[in-house]
A and B are shown apart, each in its own frame.
Chain A
Amino acid sequence: MSSGQTAALGELRAARRRRFVERLDVMEVLYRVYLAAIFGGIALVVIAGWVEEAPATAAAVADMKEHGPAVLGLALALAVLVGLRSGSRGGPLAIEAAEVQYVLLAPIDRGAALRPAAWRQLRIAVLAGAVLGAVVGNFVFRRLPGSPVGWIVCLALFGALLPVCALAAALLGSGRRLRPLVASAIGAALVAWSLADLLLGATTSPATMAGELGTLPLQSGESHLVLAAAGLAIALALTGLGLRAAGRIALEAARRRAALTAELRFSASVQDLRTVVLLRRQLASERPRRRPWIRLGVASARHPVWRRGWQSFLRWPLGRLARVLAIAVAAGAATAGAWSGVTLLFVLPGALLMVAALDLVEPLAQEADHPTRRELLPVPVDTLMQRHLGPSFAAMATVLLVGVATALALGAPTTVAAVGAVTLVPTALVLACCAGLSATNDPYRYVLTPQLGYVQSAAPVVIAVVAAGGPVLAAREAARHGGSAVGAAIGIEVAMLLIGVAMAWWLGRRMAEQSAVAP
């Protein structure tokens, strides 16, 4: 690239940055920072006061020493798998359509043109990951031996490494033009290697080596330090390779992503969750199967909505099935961890299961997407939408069963199974309703009062977190204090069941109110 072309690229980008800053509404930014500071501060104070982490038992510490690096390594391997898959579809860079047309078609080095964007994404990932890791470290040092600073620094480093490795793998996959199957195979091999490390108590996979970094305050001996350094070096090398490959991106994928990411950003900015879900699927090239996994028998006139729901699920692509299964397993693992004493993990199952629930309410969301067709059916809209909750609820209950089985497989006591059996139906109902409400929210309803819009978007997620984590937390506390775990869970679940029924009623009523055709 000649110096004139480099200068043109640099000058234009500098001018665009200046223009962006000039157009920024400073008061709006300050208002958002102010809101974030207030709510973030309140959340931190509440959580800090609420979470009373009991020190881990000697057995738990020994277990953490032996398996901690492999568990963290497995998480890193999964992040690399996700990154590689994203890269095989053209991720992670989202380039403007004009940038593709004018810069990437110009006779300049594409690597030099694209690396600043890749650096920007990596910087954001490092910052976000490090902050999250430091927050986790802040809670971990209360339970485990080791210096607070050591835990915060090590987990901040590991937290930064996790998204960086995912992004670097994506850049490498995209630059190397890996086919989705090859990318998945490479990622799956790394996951299998890390899983083998976990099962055998060894540290051979590069991901497990990087995992050593996250548990260094627990470990003694120079070998762990060397392994952690090796893991860090491998991760940095991966990042370097990813950045080097950035210029070899396929323009076809870049153009497709350019259009989709522009829409995705807009949808996210107005909290249009349904559109975000649909666009994310398009970005991932996630299409329903032409042939269902199982063909349902001859149709009867009875229960058409129930049948339609299962027809939808039976056309799920493998990637979506794997994602929901992985979410169920992760939610079960988080529940097991929370039951063993890491209170903060109670937040995870609900947040994770909400993502799965958004996939599971697809038949309902499809109905909401097509109001004219819906309203011409000879069925009241509210009844129709409530019937659509049926298959979603049944599928959600199946997902929860997988979660409970995972928790048991990871060593949770049988009490967890009993609590799971009691909580299954109400939790599945509430999660399906939360996702149903999220998927059918009108993002423009509160456009003049955005605060109400935030509440409308956040409420289902908060309810899902409480519905999935609350009963287990109550049961654990009851068990710790000699009470009946199942009894405590039942108390909360009755309330959850009532909330679920109320949400189902509200969902139907809201859709009926939005009806364009008079009843």
Chain B
Amino acid sequence: MIAGVDVQADPPVLAATGLGRTYDGFIALSSFSLELGAGELVALVGPNGAGKTTFLTLAAGLLEPSSGSIAIAGAPAGSIPARRALSYLPDTPVFYEDLSLGEHLTYVAALHGVADAGARASELMERLGLGAWEDSLPSEFSHGMRQKASIAIALVRPFAVLLADEPFDGLDPPSRDVLFELLAEARKAGAAVVVSTHRPDVIAAASRCVGIRDGRLAYDGLPEADALAEFFEP
């Protein structure tokens, strides 16, 4: 049991082996291998187009690998046990046009088997400054509020792995602090958290840093500024 999710396998909670993905001949990810254990907070870094989002969407089961494999909590990515264990926070929030924020939260929680998500949903909305917007349509929110709503939806359900694609983008400083706290809590509860980011403060807060360049694993270690400098050079 990790972070409230019944995980069948021993660690690692995420294991990618020789993962590759091509788009019409373009190699987005190649021979990418990675293992994550419970409770890790991993900063995923790399220049634009390096393959970060491709890796995250492969792990989420939204894309299928051209080669290699990826397992979440011991189950193939995209399978029902993997979907039960993994929460994916996309870089572009998506919402139902006709559901309020509160309805989104209870619906997503119910789909993940949480019968009564009321308390958790209220807590998340309050902490993210969305308490007054529970009955509003997130499809009509501003960019930052949409991002916060998307974060709340990703966190309202139990998960053993959280994949967050640029989650700090568009957030004001207080909301950034809240997100740091929420990620730390998830990690403390035993979940592995992967955050794709370009932000030095996020990298500094991570327990491990994984760098991707040209679709290949280029760095895997502690988040040391010197070692990571090349990823942020123009």
Contact = CB atoms under 8 A, between A and B. Distances in A.
A96 B63 contact: no
A255 interface: yes
Interface string B93-130: 01110110001100110111101000000000000000
B178 interface: no
A105 B115 contact: no
Interface stretch (B77-85, B197-205, B206-214, B216-224): B77-85
B111 A16 contact: no
B81 A16 contact: no
Given A4-B113, A8-B111, A97-B94, A102 B80 contact: no
Interface string B48-65: 000000000000111110
B70 interface: no
B20 interface: no
Contacts of B95: 98
B113 A251 contact: no
Contacts of A23: 98
B113 A105 contact: no
A96 B104 CA distance: 14
Contacts of A4: 110, 113, 115
B62 A105 contact: yes
Contacts of B112: 5, 106-107
B96 A98 contact: yes
A181 to B, nearest CB: 14
Contacts of B62: 100, 105, 251-252, 255
B107 A102 contact: yes
Nearest to B139: A98
B138 to A, nearest CB: 10
Given A102-B153, A105-B88, A107-B81, A5 B63 contact: no
Contacts of B96: 16, 96, 98-99, 102
Contact of B110 (A8, A15, A252): A8
Interface string A1-22: 0101101110010011001100
Contacts of A98: 94-96
A89 to B, nearest CB: 13
B6 to A, nearest CB: 11
B94 A103 contact: no
A366 interface: no
Contacts of B108: 102, 106
B46 interface: no
Contacts of A147: none
Contacts of A15: 103
Given A16-B98, A252-B62, A101 B111 contact: no
B90 interface: yes
Bin the interface of chain A by size.
20 to 34
A252 B98 contact: no
Given A16-B96, A98-B94, A103 B64 contact: no
B98 A105 contact: no
Contacts of A51: none
A199 interface: no
A103 B90 contact: no
Contacts of B104: 102
A9 B61 CA distance: 21
Interface in A238-259: 250-252, 255
A108 B78 contact: no
Interface in A67-110: 96-103, 105-109
A77 to B, nearest CB: 30
B78 to A, nearest CB: 7
Contacts of B81: 107
A102 B103 CA distance: 12
Nearest to B60: A105
B4 to A, nearest CB: 13
B34 to A, nearest CB: 21
Contact of A8 (B78, B84, B98, B107): B107
A5 B88 contact: no
Contacts of A9: 111
A251 B115 contact: no
A97 to B, nearest CB: 4
A252 B94 contact: no
Interface in A5-44: 5, 7-9, 12, 15-16, 19-20, 23
A288 B103 CA distance: 44
A96 B96 CA distance: 8
A2 B113 contact: yes
A386 to B, nearest CB: 37
Nearest to B110: A8
A475 B161 CA distance: 73
Nearest to B78: A251
A250 B64 CA distance: 8
Nearest to A23: B98
Nearest to B63: A252
Nearest to B106: A8
Nearest to A8: B110
B158 to A, nearest CB: 11
A16 B99 contact: yes
B64 A106 contact: no
A324 B96 CA distance: 38
Contacts of B83: 105-107
A377 B199 CA distance: 45
Contacts of A12: 99, 103, 107
Nearest to A106: B111
Contacts of A109: 80
Nearest to A108: B111
A20 B99 CA distance: 11
Contacts of B60: 105
A97 B91 CA distance: 13
Q: Which 10 A-B pairs have the closest CB atoms?
A: A8-B110, A107-B84, A106-B111, A97-B94, A98-B96, A107-B83, A107-B80, A251-B62, A101-B94, A98-B94
30 contacts: A5-B110, A5-B113, A8-B111, A9-B111, A12-B103, A12-B107, A15-B103, A16-B98, A19-B98, A20-B98, A97-B94, A98-B95, A99-B96, A100-B94, A101-B90, A102-B96, A102-B108, A102-B111, A105-B60, A105-B61, A105-B62, A106-B108, A106-B112, A107-B83, A107-B84, A107-B111, A107-B112, A107-B113, A251-B61, A252-B64
Interface of A: 2, 4-5, 7-9, 12, 15-16, 19-20, 23, 96-103, 105-109, 250-252, 255
Given A99-B96, A106-B108, A252-B64, 7 more contacts: A4-B110, A4-B113, A5-B112, A15-B103, A101-B94, A105-B60, A106-B112
